[in-house]
Amino acid sequence: MSARKFRYGPWDNGPDPLASPYDVREALDQLGRDVLAGGSLREALRDLLRQGSQGRRGLNDLHAAARRRRQEARRRGNLAGTLDRVRQMLDQALAAEKDTLARDPGDDARMREMELDTLPDDVARAVRDLSAYDWQSEEGRQTYDQIQQMLRRDILDAQFAGMKQALSGQDPAASQAVRDMLADLNQLLAAHSRGEDTTDRFAEFMQRHGEFFPENPADTDELIDLLARRAAAAERLMRSLSPQQRDELAQLMNQALGDPDLASQLGQLRDNLHALRPGLDWQSRAQMRGQQPLGYGEAVEAVADLADLEALTEQLGQEHPGATLDDVDVEALERQLGPEAAVDIRALRELERELERQGYVSRGADGLRLTPKALRRLGETALRRVFQELSTGGRGDHDDHRTGSADEPTGASREWRFGDEHPIDATRTVHNAVLRSAAERRRPPLSLSVEDFEIAETERRSSAAVALCVDLSYSMIQEGRWGPMKQTALALSHLVATRFRQDALEIIGFDRVARRLSPVQLAEIEPDWIQGTNLQHALMLAGRHVRRHPDAEPVILVVTDGEPTAHLEPDGEPFFSWPTTHETLRATITEVDALTRYGATLNLFMLGEDEGLARFMDAVARRNGGRVFTPDLDRLGDFVVADYLRARRGFRRSA
């Protein structure tokens, strides 16, 4: 037997069936931008789902498509078209009968003409009164019989899609098959309503009567959904007619069935479906405005479609409390807007689950939250953006080429230069020798040359205690500074966590009071209408942080857009005043002096062009020996990260 041969290659037959419906990392970056700009995670996720991403339609587009489709459905036709059609067929039957009677000179023909002339105007009563009439015109009799057949067929077909073909003729066996199916169906639904396991009974039912259900439902619940949708639409259709039209149509339907047992089974089915699906809309009127007359079956389907679209419009709008994508009826969406819409909504639904499954968001009592993993991703993105802007050249100005017992390998290597004391990277050195020998076509034994040597770069394990104080007052969000501030803090946090792990970073947010913030807390914090810039409290917490690390170099960075307007009173309560007071300035300067005596340098990043802030910053810089930066918003991260790296380089060289 010959062995099978397999060929592997890229998938080129449409979308990759194994691919994630969304690039989760790209979606996370989009969420991160919204969260860092001041929005909550829930709002950011909702906006992402509404707008769509990566070529897929969002809820807004699907909602608009459902609204357009609903307007089209409302213009589809006239729900009273069955009565118009019956009236037209009755007029044709009577015209044919009168033509035949006119050619008969006998008295009996005149009596029949009088009987026809006295028929009631009510179509249903006229059809009923003619049930015992002895037709003289074969054409008239056949047309009258077609009225009954049409109504009977449409009534059943409106409930069961496979009825029209089964009842297309006068076969008594077909009618008996319908009665048997209804009896078995009602028994199945009764067992389901009692909570019994109907799996086997459903399979047996479909084996016997599956011809009546071309939709091929998978289980009892799907069968109930299918039937209840049409039954509810039929109820709404009747309620949408005028009382006279409703009465006439009801009478015509009862006459058309002409079988008490069949009518009883249909009534029992309607009651069962109503009890099993009470949440469906069984009561409201359908707002149809079309002119084209619709038959009863067509009208029921039109009302069912309209009900689908009205429900989808509400589900896709996501305006009701507690709304989720799980509320959207995907089957109805596919039925009304096509398979692509179902693919889009499933992808949107999967996105939220995938974010949670991959550990980027977690769900707690207070809703969704970003996880540390997500923060690492956002910090990595923010830091990459910062380094793209920095013009540090080569490996960056934060490298330290000195060696020592406390050095750590960075994972990088470079060519050996005279005077280097770094350890030799043996693997890279031998690799270079092999390549050089091969290029020179030399035979073994292998020899080493000076240019083959590479050294392993290391990072000196000097440590810093870094306090990043960021302004959280409302002016930051008003002037569009909230997002850049958050991104800067996350970039610095990621840099310290991944490149300088021996450093101790603390993020301190301040408005009327100051508080320590983890990167997750900083990312999730939302702007609040709080006036006050309590730099004094922030510097107090920064001082406590650097003193907890006496062997580390103190680095304090302050990002703010306003001069101090708040401070802590001796009892610990915050005091706020605008314009600022001498007491607030004095309390703030006291903390500046305490940090200066400790040896900590304050570098200040001033946002905006406030003259009072500029004077205060200059005074602090002169008093402390630090520096003042006035970066543009889009370069804030560059300035803060570069200053941190510059400070580390400075104290390393003095180590």
Query: Parallel, antiparallel, or unpaired for β 464-471 and 553-560?
Result: parallel
pLDDT at 80: 63
* Region 188-208 average pLDDT: 89
* pLDDT for 401: 35
d(CA 562, CA 475) in angstroms, rounded, equals: 8
Which 8-state DSSP code applies to residue 22? S
Summarize pLDDT for 28-67 with one digit per residue, the tens: 777 777 766 666 666 777 777 777 766 678 778 888 888 8
- Among 13-17, 44-48, 301-305, 402-406, the minimum mean pLDDT is found in 402-406
- Which pLDDT value is given to residue 588? 93
- The pLDDT tens digits for 536-554 are 999 999 999 999 998 888 9
The angle at the Cα of 433, spanning 429 to 437, to the nearest 5 degrees, equals: 175
Q: Following CA atoms 71, 73, 77, 80 in sequence, which dihedral angle do they give, to the nearest 10 degrees?
A: -110
Give 538 or 243, the one with higher predicted confidence: 538
What whole-number distance in Å separates Cα of residue 547 and Cα of residue 558?
A: 18
Query: Which CA distances in Å does 150 have to 120, 134, 163, 295?
Result: 22, 21, 12, 9
Q: Is 147 exposed, middle or buried (0-12, 13-18, 19+ CB in 10 A)?
A: buried
Strands 504-510 and 566-568: unpaired
- Nearest partner of 291 among 81, 527, 488, 472, judged by Cα: 81
| Residues 6+ positions from 338 with CB-CB distance below 8 Å | none
The whole-angstrom separation of Cα 408 and Cα 258 is: 94
Domains and CATH numbers, the chain: 183-276 (no CATH), 412-456 (no CATH), 464-649 (3.40.50.410)
pLDDT tens profile 287-308: 666 666 666 666 666 677 777 7
**Average pLDDT taken over every residue of the chain:** 77
Q: Mean pLDDT, to the nearest integer, of 205-230? A: 85
Q: Band of the pLDDT at 20, cuts 50, 70, 90?
A: low
More confident residue, 367 or 507: 507
Given the structure tokens 């459905």, which residue do they identify? 73
Question: What pLDDT score was predicted for residue 279?
Answer: 79
Q: What's the CA gap between 635 and 451, in Å, rounded?
A: 41
pLDDT of 394 strictly over 60:
no
pLDDT in tens, 416-468: 776 666 678 888 888 888 888 877 777 677 778 878 888 877 655 468 888 99
pLDDT(583) > 70: yes
Give the per-residue pLDDT at 127.
Answer: 75
Task: State the DSSP code for 435.
Answer: H
User: To the nearest whole percent, how much of the chain has pLDDT over 70?
Assistant: 75
Region 364-369: what's the mean pLDDT?
Answer: 64
Q: What is the DSSP string of 345-398?
A: HHHHHHHHHHHHHTTSEEEETTEEEE-HHHHHHHHHHHHHHHHHH----TT-TT
Query: Is the pLDDT confidence value at 15 over 60?
Result: no
Q: Are strands 514-517 and 574-576 parallel, antiparallel or unpaired?
A: unpaired
Q: What is the mean pLDDT of residues 152-168?
A: 57
Omega into 631 within 30° of 0, i.e. cis?
no
Q: Which of 459, 462, 457 is nearest to 417 (CA)?
A: 457
Cβ contact 507:393 at 8 Å: no
Query: What is the percent of the chain with per-residue pLDDT over 90, rounded to a whole number?
Result: 8
Per-residue model confidence (pLDDT) at position 406: 41
Longest CA pairwise span in the chain (Å): 136
DSSP code of 505? E
> Which of 428, 309, 317 is CA-nearest to residue 70?
309
DSSP state of 446: P
pLDDT at 169: 46
Res 40: pLDDT: 61
Per-residue pLDDT tens digits for 259-275? 677 778 778 888 888 88
**Between the ranges 225-229, 401-405, 425-429, 562-566, where is the mean pLDDT highest?**
562-566
The whole-angstrom distance between residue 401's C-alpha and the CA centroid of its chain comes to: 49
Q: What was the pLDDT predicted at 578? A: 86
For the cut 70, the answer to whether the pLDDT of residue 18 exceeds it is no
Identify the three-state secondary structure at position 628: strand
What's residue 652's pLDDT?
Answer: 45
Higher-confidence residue: 649 or 545? 545
pLDDT at 404: 32
Angle between the N-to-C axes of helices 296-317 and 220-240, in degrees from 0 to 180, rounded to the nearest 10: 110
Helices 372-389, 636-653: inter-axial angle, 10-degree rounding: 80
